[in-house]
């Protein structure tokens, strides 16, 4: 038996104002996208904005469904749109902002497991890291230099 320790490095900023202007702008686009979420069931609104290598910005928000599993998270809405519309453009950075309508969300909300898997697919496809920033409606912002930091032991095409 051998113990395996997994280490990830993330960067935590006290507020969005600590980040460069282009990241503040991208988070602001995520925030605008969040307002377009359709989340009548969870009342939890999420927005995502991504910048591609051609500088196009693609946004998404969560879209729920009365048949709950048919809904889709903001991150996958955005990344599948980018994959469909800009299949040859690498994704540079993704900003995510999330919060409940029922209570203030003041701590960073990481993407769910399914979204991490979906983002990982595109990171592997483009063979270049995707920078991820995530936050609640206010407060600290977490940065990961790569999706890989958020999903150790990734399942990807290498095993197929
Ligand atoms: N949600 C996202 O949009 N992204 C995540 O990473 C986590 C969850 C959405 C899905 C659902 O509409 C609501 O938040 C509550 O789970």
DSSP characters over 68-126? GGG-B-HHHHHHHHHHHH-TTSPEEEEEEEEEESSS---S--PPPHHHHHHHHHHHHHH
Helix (H, G, I), strand (E, B) or coil at 158: helix
Give the residue numbers marked as catalytic. 75
56 CB within 6 A, ligand 1 = no
62 CB within 6 A, ligand 1 = yes
From the list 32, 42, 46, 22, the residue with the least C-alpha distance to 131 is 22
Q: Are strands 91-100 and 131-135 parallel, antiparallel or unpaired?
A: parallel
From the list 38, 33, 73, the residue with the least C-alpha distance to 49 is 33
What is the pLDDT averaged over residues 118-140?
98
CATH fold label, 11-138 = Cytidine Deaminase; domain 2 (3.40.140)
pLDDT value at position 33? 98
pLDDT value at position 159? 93
The per-residue pLDDT for range 55-95, each reduced to its tens digit, is 999 999 999 999 999 999 999 999 999 999 999 999 999 99
73 CB within 6 A, ligand 1 = yes
pLDDT value at position 56? 98
pLDDT bin (cut points 50, 70, 90) of residue 108 is very high
pLDDT value at position 87? 97
* Protein residue closest via CA to atom 13 of ligand 1: 44
What is the pLDDT averaged over residues 1-14?
97
112 CB within 6 A, ligand 1 = yes
| Mean pLDDT of the residues in the chain | 98
* Protein residue closest via CA to atom 10 of ligand 1: 73
**Distance from the CA of 1 to the center of ligand 1, in angstroms?**
38
39 CB within 6 A, ligand 1 = yes
- For the CA of 110, the closest atom of ligand 1 is 6
| Gyration radius of the chain over CA positions | 16
Token digits of residue 158 = 């290498």
Helix (H, G, I), strand (E, B) or coil at 20: coil
Please name every residue paired with 99 in a beta bridge, in sequence order, or none if there are none. Answer: 45
């Amino acid at each position: 038996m051998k113990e395996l320790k997994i280490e990830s490095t993330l960067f935590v900023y006290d507020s969005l104002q600590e980040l460069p202007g282009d990241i503040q702008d991208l988070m602001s686009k995520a925030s605008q996208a969040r307002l377009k979420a359709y989340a009548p069931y969870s009342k939890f609104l999420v927005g995502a904005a991504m910048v591609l290598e051609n500088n196009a910005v693609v946004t998404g928000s969560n879209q729920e469904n009365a048949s709950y599993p048919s809904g889709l998270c903001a991150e996958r809405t955005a990344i599948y749109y980018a994959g469909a519309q800009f299949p040859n453009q690498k994704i540079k950075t993704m900003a995510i902002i999330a919060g409940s309508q029922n209570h203030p969300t003041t701590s960073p909300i990481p993407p769910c497991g399914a979204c991490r898997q979906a983002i990982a697919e595109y990171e592997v496809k483009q063979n270049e890291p995707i920078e991820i920033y995530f936050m609640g409606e206010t407060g600290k912002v977490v940065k990961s230099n790569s999706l890989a930091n958020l999903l150790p032991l990734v399942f990807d095409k290498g095993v197929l």
